[in-house]
Chains A and B, each alone.
Chain A
Amino acid sequence: MSKGVEALVEMVGKLGGAVEDVRKSEIYIRVPREAVRAVAKLLYDSGAYLKTCAGVDERGTSGFYSIYYIFGLDSHGVDAVLKVLVPEHDPLIPSILPEVPAADWCELEIRDLLGIELSGRLTKRLVLPEDWPDGVYPLRKEFRYDEKPPRVVREELPEEVGIPVGPYHPALHEPEYFELYVEGEKVVDVVYRGFHVHRGIEKLAESPRFTYKQIPFLAERICGICGFVHSTCYVMAVEKAAGIGVPERAEFIRSIVLEVERLHSHLLWLGVAAHLLGYDAGFMHTWRIRERVMVLAEYLTGSRKTYGINVVGGVRKDLNVDKIDKTMKTVAQVREEFKKLADAALSVPQIKARAVGTGVLTKSEARALSVVGPVARASGLYRDIRKDYPYLAYRKVSFRVPLYTEGDNLARLLVRVEEVFESIEIIKQLIDMLPGGGIVSEEYEIPPGRRAVAAVEAPRGEDVHFVITGLGRPYRWRVRAPTYQNIPALRAMLRGTSLADAPLTIASIDPCFSCTDRVLVVDVRSSRRSFIKLVRGG
């Protein structure tokens, strides 16, 4: 523990917190229920980001429900994990939302899925579908993973009044729903409804249907773009919890494939952005270049996407001379071609005209919502998990983190353009330093009751997996995808922007709705709409 962390822990102690466990990159602190808001305020005001919160049904082991709040102390590279015990007969926690605006969704999710009520804030159903019965909480252990509760028919929804963008809309490639309120073409308010494609993956992973060895493949299917991030994050969490040593070569291979994935993801996004701006030539050429990356990924892993090479303890596919050669050639080609293309595309007058000053997210808004990834870096927040919490082989490479302060669509676009070049440099360095040796350690044991937080910098920002080990499979596996953290910022970005720029602004966070929706379905519209003010300051 560094001095700064020690001082912080001491202050938490004065508020009633008791340190449970100190690990290399995590500190677990038990906090009394009454003190949680004060502790959250202390941490948030001291510069910590909220990574996520998670509810766990631990009645079987400790007799309580546990709520975990994961705060990232980015400047120290340490996670402070607060644990609050909630008795079964009184399932209520004070909301930390007034102190930590970023806690909005994860608190509601705990309420929906675990049935823990929140005091001191407005609540509404966020994750569970409208026809889900009241009082049935899927993450409680007595709820079977394949149980289908009877549907509840509720009254008709009131007629639409805003401009619907979704659930099916040409600018959105997944079923999500934004309702835009406009004056003329100017957006004055936004309502987001998501979780249409929730698949109950977290519950499924705790079920007897899955084992530790199978879950990497399930995790990889959380997202069709950054699936490898999820499988890496899961295996890292399990390895960290169980203390499994991974061969260095495997760490390098994971890092290389992660950067290959970032290349394809950023090129994909830049193509989509060009398309949304009506510049289809840019779209087609970006994707043409991206195709080289896809072919490379297939050659390295066996599959264009959902690579399927992560296992607990290492990776399944090794690199050889041919693969290294092909990698170096491909990234050099991509670099050269993308450089030319980016110069041409960025000189198109409409791209500048429409991306400058639109969808602005100020630094204070970004900070309040703990946004992640290129969205944070475009709003002046220096956040990159690869730098803040170096994992795998990232501590051994040098690279630049692009930072812009404008917070507009152009800034988010430029951050991604620059990251393409940085990723290429990282891949080259990793290949140069690739150590020898094995790629997987087969001998390991995973004792139950261990906990770990793992985070990986996905192309869209920080991906967080929290694992509590169980017998043969995790006792609880919590996934927090980057988009989950970034969507609430859209409200701030869209207000005041032109309707024409709404698709680009929505796209500018590179939303991945399937990632966000790992756990559920639609929210209900109550007869009166009440909105929680998401953003302070600004």
Chain B
Amino acid sequence: MSIARILEIAFRTGRVTRKYPHEPPLLTPEFRGAVRVDPSKCWGCGACVKICPPNALSLRSDSGREVVLEYFVGRCIFCGMCAEVCPARAIEVTKEFELSSTSLESLKYGVAHRLVRCSSCGSLVWTEAELRAVIRSSPVAEEYVVLCPRCRKTRFARAASIRVGAGSE
């Protein structure tokens, strides 16, 4: 009776189902869960927003003085691409996956960044954190850093033209 062999298999195997959630979940060391953004490291540069396939990460600017990097875990597909591209290494892939909640708001996490205005024209340039990181990592003259790209170009062109003596003004 080979159909009865299933009894032998069952007897040898014993019980395999577990009383989850009363027992801990089985996760391998490689498991990718939700991500965590470290507010003290984040620059608010938006590299993660650009790579995020499901738009779980977004940059929101409500007031014009601030920009908020928002992580909505409800859309996250746990691919971890954001952590890979983050230049500040501010994003960490955790093993957290028990994320259900009765309130939508509790599924959203935000990191707020103050914006810096261009010291010349006054347009919004980038976040304070990014500015600090740039100053720290490269020896750019500080007066350039606080300029928006356009003013920087103008000023550089002017400086260059004075130097080569082609200035007309």
Contact B30 A288, beta carbon cutoff 8 Å? no
4 further interface pairs, Cβ-Cβ under 8 Å (given A298-B31, A344-B2): A281-B10, A285-B10, A291-B16, A349-B3
Q: Are A302 and B5 in contact (CB under 8 A)?
A: no
Partner of B77 from the list A300, A308, A349 (CB cut-off 8 Å) is A308
* B79 contacts partner chain A, Cβ-Cβ < 8 Å: yes
A344 touches B51 (CB 8 A): no
A contact residues around B77 at 8 Å (CB): 217, 221, 306, 308
Closest CB in chain A relative to B33 CB, distance in Å: 10
B80 CB to nearest A CB, Å = 7
Q: Which chain B residue shows the least CB distance to A300?
A: B30
Task: State the majority secondary structure of interface residues on A.
Answer: helix
Residue A75 CB within 8 A of the other chain: no
A residues touching B (Cβ–Cβ < 8 Å)? 210, 213-215, 217-218, 221, 281-282, 285, 288, 291, 295, 298-303, 306, 308, 316-317, 337, 340-341, 343-345, 347-349
B9 contact set on A, CB distance < 8 A: 285, 337, 340-341, 344
Chain B, residue nearest A287 (CB): B16
CA of A214 to CA of B31, assembled, Å: 21
Chain A contacts for B16, CB-based, 8 A: 288, 291
Report the Cα distance A298→B26, complex, angstroms. Answer: 11
Q: Does B24 touch A at the CB level, under 8 Å? A: no
Which residue in B3, B6, B79, B84 is a CB contact (below 8 Å) of A217?
A: B79
Known A288-B13, A347-B3; contact A214-B30, beta-carbon cutoff 8 A: no
Q: Mark B25-39, 1 if CB is under 8 A from A, else 0.
A: 011111110000000
Instruction: Output the nearest chain B residue to A349 by Cβ-Cβ distance.
Output: B3
Contact of B31 with A302 in the complex, beta carbons under 8 Å: yes
Q: Which of B7-63 contact A (CB under 8 A)?
A: 9-10, 13, 16, 26-32, 51-54
Can you report 6 residue pairs joining A to B where beta carbons are below 8 Å apart? A214-B52, A302-B30, A308-B78, A343-B2, A347-B2, A349-B3
Q: Are B13 and A218 in contact (CB under 8 A)?
A: no
Of B3, B78, B81, B84, which contacts A303 at CB under 8 A?
Answer: B78
Neighbouring B residues of A347 by C-beta, 8 Å? 2-3
The 8 Å CB contact of A343, one of B5, B27, B80, is B5
List chain B residues, Cβ under 8 A from A210.
Answer: 53
- Set A221, A281, A291, A295: member contacting B6, Cβ < 8 A: A281
- Contact across chains for B53 and A299 when beta carbons are under 8 A apart: no
The answer to whether B53 and A298 touch across the interface, beta carbons within 8 angstroms, is: no
Q: Is the CB of B28 within 8 A of A295?
A: yes
Most chain A beta-carbon contacts within 10 A, residue among B6, B30, B51, B54: B6
7 nearest A-B residue pairs (beta carbon): A217-B53, A299-B28, A347-B2, A302-B32, A308-B79, A214-B53, A344-B5
In the complex, what residues of A have CB within 8 A of residue B31's CB?
298, 302-303
Min distance, Cβ B65 to any Cβ of chain A, angstroms: 28
CA of A341 to CA of B3, assembled, Å:
10
